[in-house]
Amino acid sequence: MDYWPVWIILTVLLIYVYVSGGVELTFELPDNAKECFYQEIQENVSVTLEFQVVTGGQYDVDVSLEAPNKEIIYRNTKAQFDSHNFVSNMPGIYVVCFSNEFSTFSHKLVYMDFQVGDEQPLPGLEQHVTVLTQMESSAQEIHKSLNSIIDYQTHHRLREAQGRKRAEDLNERVMWWSILETLAVLIITVSQVLVLKNFFAEKKPSQMNSK
């Protein structure tokens, strides 16, 4: 029974890690399309925008971040990935737009992480008046470590998906190139056989008399 409280704390910790956090999603961006996301943010709040193109075309998109007063806070053209931090100077609706309008046939798969505000502490530790006990400090450290692990795992999964997609595209190109080479060799071989057969074919007497 001595380990029962620790098991409860770790279970609550794991659940809290997965249900907390900002807006994090992966979406498909068609060709000649533009997708915008809206987030209400209060004044003097720390915000982090992070994105990465996972698959599609040259792995690039146009990104813009607009304040409630229509001021452009951040803009990047044909970017594969980036991260931008800022502090909101006014309350209101902030708009993040991803554009693939420069692409005519390739759609993209884009990952976006829009973190608003600082990381929330563990339940029960928000307004802790006294000094944290050793158990509470350990739980807080585990909470931070788990969040870092989740972030690393997310980025590794994105890189793995991107690498796998590139390998599949390369494999498909090699396959089609091999098919074209095989067809070219067959056509050249048949053509040479026909030409050589025509050289050694016996001419009929009618063809010789006509000459």
CA angle in degrees (0–180, nearest 5) for 145-43-22: 35
- End-to-end C-alpha distance for the chain, whole angstroms: 112
Q: For residues 105 and 151, which has the higher predicted lDDT (pLDDT)?
A: 105
Of 113, 104, 124, the closest CA to residue 85 belongs to: 113
- What digits encode the pLDDT tens for the residues 63-74? 999 999 999 999
Find the largest Cα–Cα distance for the chain: 120
What was the pLDDT predicted at 4?
37
What was the pLDDT predicted at 20?
39
- Name the least confident of 86-90, 173-177, 202-206: 202-206
Provide the pairing of β-strand 81-87 with 72-79.
unpaired
- pTM of the complete model: 0.60
Q: Over 90: is that where the pLDDT of 116 sits?
A: no
**Residue 4's CB: how many other CB atoms inside 10 A?**
8
What was the pLDDT predicted at 126?
55
Q: What HEC string does 133-153 produce?
A: CHHHHHHHHHHHHHHHHHHHH
Residue with tokens 């006014």: 90
Q: Domains of the chain (ranges plus CATH)?
A: 4-117+131-164 (2.60.120.380)
Instruction: Tell me the one-letter amino acid at 62.
Output: D
What was the pLDDT predicted at 63?
93
- What digits encode the pLDDT tens for the residues 26-54? 888 888 889 999 988 888 888 889 898 88
Under DSSP, the state recorded for 121 is: P
